[in-house]
Amino acid sequence: MLKKKSRKLWWIAGVLVVLVGLGVTGFVVMSRPKNEIDESRLATAERGDITRSVVATGRIEPITKVEIKSKANGIIKELKVQIGDLVQPGQILAELDKENLEARVREAKAALIGAESNLKAAQAQLEKNRVEAEGPDVPFTKRNFERAERLLREGVLPQQSFDDARSAYEQAANRQNVAKAQLSVSEAKVAQAKAEVAQAQATVDRSAEELTYATVRSPIRGMVLSRDVEIGSPVSSILNMGSAATLVMVLGDISEVYVKGKVDEADIGVVKLGQPSRIKVETFKDKVFEGKVTQISPLGVDKDNVVSFEVRVSINNNSGELRANMTANAEIVLEEHKAALLVPESAVIYDKQRNASVEIPAPGQPKGREKLAIKTGISNGSKTEVLEGLKEGEKVILQ
């Protein structure tokens, strides 16, 4: 019985202690001044750097990017470069199987030799006709005929001898006439033979050029960004297929790159060519790359009822750290102030006329605070520059 009574007393004593504690706490809370401001809602006006900027988000692109396609049809026999290799203008990138192309060159050269032989024969015939057209034996046979005719009249030459002399003269004259008639024909044959030689030479040149097409060379200094074929892959000629030709590889000059991003129409009016920019990429989170605005699209793009403008920010990339297609944020610097007096944006109050003010702690005031008119400068969304109305180190109340 005593144990039950003792346990009850202990329980009552515990309840009394709790009630006393609650009473003390309530008294402290009730006795705290109503105008006391929580420390978590206070901020200090401090000096710092502030930048007003616009952010364009996009991907890293090389200034120069070239799709390499073959001018010849064929099978890839050799690949001379790997992805990431740096190449120079004229460097061999790939070799196609040349067996068929080399056979065409040999065939064309054989045809050229045949055409040149025909030309020589035609020229020889032309020279022969020219000689015959001049009739070098006509004067001689004519003199013989005239002498025979005189001797025949004098009765000292047999009739047969006279007939032989006349026949020789007539044959020489006929040969001359025939040669003159054939002269234009021979000249035409020579012209035709020359044309055939020129055509055969053009075929040789074209075949030789097509043979060079089987060696794919780099047109620029840059890096191999992608390699889209392997040894044994068939490729189609860009001369035959155009844009549908087989893509061999992609090269890009990454010594200078750019971010192609989009800026909202509300901000595009303050973006100017040449403005500096700070670029950050996911790969190098603690590093900032410097760039500048080099292109602003004059045409906006409407997507989901939001109009944006494409902006290009160029970056010097001599170090080669930035790679194509890296996601990047380009912070375009519109205005920057060093060692400015700054307060949190949430501490600034604006009235209907956009006049700015802040509240500061004032224990002597009924509400424990006082409103001060200030003159603001630029804002970056989290901090606002104060030009007038506050001093460094003063406390302001967050709203």
Is residue 2's pLDDT more than 70? no
Is residue 247's pLDDT more than 90? yes
Convert the pLDDT of each residue in 179-236 to its tens digit.
676 777 888 888 999 999 999 999 999 999 989 999 999 999 888 999 999 999 999 9
Which phi and psi angles does 24 have, rounded to 5°? -65, -45
8 A C-beta contact, residue 192 and residue 49: no
Long-range contacts of 21-24 (CB under 8 A, 24+ apart): none
Strands 383-388 and 42-44: unpaired
Convert the pLDDT of each residue in 311-325 to its tens digit.
999 998 888 888 888
Q: Picking from 25-29, 281-285, 390-394, which range would have the lowest pLDDT averaged per residue?
A: 25-29
Which phi and psi angles does 77 have, rounded to 5°? -100, -40
Convert the pLDDT of each residue in 301-357 to its tens digit.
888 888 889 999 999 888 888 888 888 989 898 888 899 999 999 999 998 888 999
**Residue 28 pLDDT:** 42
What does each C-alpha distance from 394 to 45, 358, 361, 377 come to in angstroms? 6, 11, 9, 18
**Residue 107 pLDDT:** 94
Confidence band, pLDDT 50/70/90 cuts, at residue 19:
low
CA separation for the pair 255, 305 (Å, rounded): 37
**What pTM was estimated for this model as a whole?**
0.56
CA separation for the pair 91, 265 (Å, rounded): 45
Distance of alpha carbon 10 from the chain centroid:
87
**Residue 260 pLDDT:** 87
Position 146: which residue type? E
CB atoms within 10 A of CB 175: 15
**Residue 27 pLDDT:** 43
Strand partners, 59: 260, 327
Domain positions in the chain: 98-211
Of the candidates 247, 319, 323, 225, the residue with the CA atom closest to the CA atom of residue 282 = 323
Is residue 257's pLDDT more than 60? yes
Q: Picking from 75-84, 181-190, 207-216, 374-383, which range would have the lowest pLDDT averaged per residue?
A: 181-190
Confidence band, pLDDT 50/70/90 cuts, at residue 4:
very low
8 A C-beta contact, residue 331 and residue 280: yes
Give the 3-state secondary structure of 91-102. Answer: CEEEEECCHHHH
Please give the average per-residue pLDDT across 92-99, as a whole number: 93
Q: Which residues contact 344 (CB under 8 A, 6 or more apart)?
A: 43, 382, 383, 384, 396, 398
8 A C-beta contact, residue 37 and residue 368: yes
Averaged confidence pLDDT in the chain: 84
Q: Which tokens go with 295?
A: 């292109």
